[in-house]
Chain A
Amino acid sequence: MQPQRTPLQVTISVWYALFVREALSRTTADRMAWFWMLVEPAAAVLVFIALRAVFFGNLRHIDGAPTVPWMLVGLFGFNLISNVMLRGIGAMDANKALFSYRQIKPIDPVVVRFYVEALLVTFIFLLFMLVAVALEAPVQVDKPLEAVFMWFILWLLGVGLGLIFSAVASLVPEMGKVIRILSMPLLIISGVIIPLQTLPVSFSDILIWNPIAQAIELLRSEFFANYRTMPQVSINYIVIWVLGTLGLGLLLHLRFERLFKRL
């Protein structure tokens, strides 16, 4: 009889096996997968610049930060949160055949997707930054350590929201679609394209309650030391959101584990 593995050993091999599966299916799903991962953000930035030039001709300047890097940081910060929180939806469904193995818990494929998504977005972000440096664009990272830390916090916020959304969407399948639709305007209202502080105060005072907007603003202020965020922006607010969503998400997955396993 072979010695039994500890629960931690089992979990680590499950995550490793799922990681290989997810990473492969994400990067080789079709032969253009890599191409689009690189071109999509580049195209998005070009569209944003065009939009701003057309609609906000007099707002082209952003105080304390070069415009294009400001957008790049915002866009990738936003991508990190939104990809992580939305990719969790359907993770259980896509792997349910593998739930036959008792080693796999329903939360495992969800967690592994968060990790894969983080690796991909981070890698592509670094690639873009390197290209920008090579092109001698005005890229600056004034507080690198803090920036890495904020990047991690942004990921945690995505993980917390993703845990909740993946559980809710599995309990009520229609909710998956509703969440996707509701998340469409997030790009605009999270201040990725236009700084929230340039909007009328009556708008910006409401929009700044959005934790994603605050997280992106904080990330930017680590990159650009002279950039001034709105006074409401605070790391405490984000951390409370992170802890709250992580707690609720884990609770949901714990409470409905048996239901998810049978899906």
Chain B
Amino acid sequence: MIKIDKLFKRYHSNGVSPWILNGINMTIPTNTSVGIVGRNGAGKSTLLRLIGGMDQPDRGTITSDSRISWPIGLSGGLQGSMTGRQNVKFVARMHGSKDVNEVARLVEEFAEIGDAFDRPVRSYSSGMRSRLNFGLSLAFDFDVYLSDEATSVGDRLFKEKATKAFRDKVGQASIIMVSHSNDILLDLCQSGIWLSKGEATWFDDIRDAIKAYNDGDK
């Protein structure tokens, strides 16, 4: 369960910007996969980053008793000077894994980037990065996976593999995802959150959320 309580967030880079998230209250039940919809700039990625603990809210709290992943598909989180393997081992150690090499093997298998796995990440293409990133987050047993357009990066074959991997996780773990693809949302999510003008609306059925987004944000 993830409890969002009176959440406010805005960015301060250019003076004071308007509230992106303006007082959000919401409870996301355990084992419910949620799709977040909304226009560009509505705060979808911001909400995801806040849930993942990568950013701090200006006011309000997010509390959770689940193990939450970092947002998959976000380009950060890989240190360019380290090789793919070193990055994976680093994250495994950080999460207190007992067999670091086993984690590295799993990721190597899933990412299918060949010899590049032992080359510095800065030499990777963006597709290779997202493969590594995706494999990395699947190697740990999180209760909740956060996904920011993860399945839309990479070539067609990998996209299918990634979607399948996501689907296999349904049941053991839930997913909170941001996506503009209705098919993927309908495929993987049960419930939905519609973000608009700093406010969030919860829908028990993802179809209602997509409908509200299509009708409301014209």
B142's closest neighbor in chain A, by CB?
A2
A203 to B95 alpha-carbon distance, docked (Å): 54
The reply to whether B70 and A100 form a contact with Cβ atoms under 8 Å apart is yes
Chain B residues with CB under 8 A of A97: 76-80
A24 to B79 alpha-carbon distance, docked (Å): 14
> Quick one: which of B68-94 are within 8 Å of A by CB?
70, 74, 76-82, 86, 89-91, 93-94
Chain A residues with CB under 8 A of B77: 97-98, 100-101
Q: Is B171 in the interface zone, CB < 8 Å from A?
A: no
The reply to whether B65 and A21 form a contact with Cβ atoms under 8 Å apart is no
| Cβ contact of A100, chosen from B54, B80, B81, B143, cutoff 8 A | B54
Q: Is B52 in the interface zone, CB < 8 Å from A?
A: yes
Query: Per-residue 0/1 for A233-263: is the Cβ within 8 Å of any B Cβ (1 yes, 0 no)?
Result: 0000000000000000000000000100110
The reply to whether B54 and A102 form a contact with Cβ atoms under 8 Å apart is yes
A94 to B81 alpha-carbon distance, docked (Å): 9
| Cβ contact of A20, chosen from B79, B81, B90, cutoff 8 A | B90
Interface of A is mostly: helix
Most A CB within 10 A of own CB, among B70, B94, B96: B94
Query: Per-residue 0/1 for B81-116: is the Cβ within 8 Å of any A Cβ (1 yes, 0 no)?
Result: 110001001110111100000000000000000000
B50 to chain A, nearest CB (A): 11
Q: Is A32 in the interface zone, CB < 8 Å from B?
A: no
A3 to chain B, nearest CB (A): 10
Q: How many residues of B contact A (CB 8 A)?
A: 27
From known contacts A25-B81, A98-B77, A100-B77, infer whether A1 and B91 are also in contact, taking CB-CB under 8 Å: no
The reply to whether B67 and A98 form a contact with Cβ atoms under 8 Å apart is no
Chain B residues with CB under 8 A of A94: 81
A241 to chain B, nearest CB (A): 33
The reply to whether B94 and A102 form a contact with Cβ atoms under 8 Å apart is no
The reply to whether A21 and B70 form a contact with Cβ atoms under 8 Å apart is no
The reply to whether B74 and A100 form a contact with Cβ atoms under 8 Å apart is yes
| Cβ contact of A17, chosen from B54, B67, B90, cutoff 8 A | B90
Q: Is B56 in the interface zone, CB < 8 Å from A?
A: yes
The reply to whether B96 and A2 form a contact with Cβ atoms under 8 Å apart is no
From known contacts A97-B79, A258-B56, infer whether A16 and B141 are also in contact, taking CB-CB under 8 Å: no
> Quick one: which of A9-30 are within 8 Å of B by CB?
9-10, 13-14, 16-18, 20-21, 24-25
Q: Is A61 in the interface zone, CB < 8 Å from B?
A: no
Query: Per-residue 0/1 for B39-67: is the Cβ within 8 Å of any A Cβ (1 yes, 0 no)?
Result: 00000000000001111100000000111
Chain B residues with CB under 8 A of A104: 94
The reply to whether A2 and B94 form a contact with Cβ atoms under 8 Å apart is no
Chain B residues with CB under 8 A of A16: 93
Most B CB within 10 A of own CB, among A10, A95, A100: A100
Chain A residues with CB under 8 A of B93: 13, 16-17, 20
| Cβ contact of A2, chosen from B54, B67, B74, B76, cutoff 8 A | B67
B interface list, Cβ under 8 A from A:
52-56, 65-67, 70, 74, 76-82, 86, 89-91, 93-96, 141, 143
Task: Provide 7 A-B residue pairs closer than 8 Å at the C-beta atoms, listed in order of the A residue.
Answer: A4-B65, A20-B93, A21-B79, A25-B82, A98-B79, A99-B54, A99-B76
8 tightest A-B CB contacts, nearest first: A102-B53, A17-B93, A100-B77, A100-B76, A17-B94, A13-B96, A97-B79, A17-B90
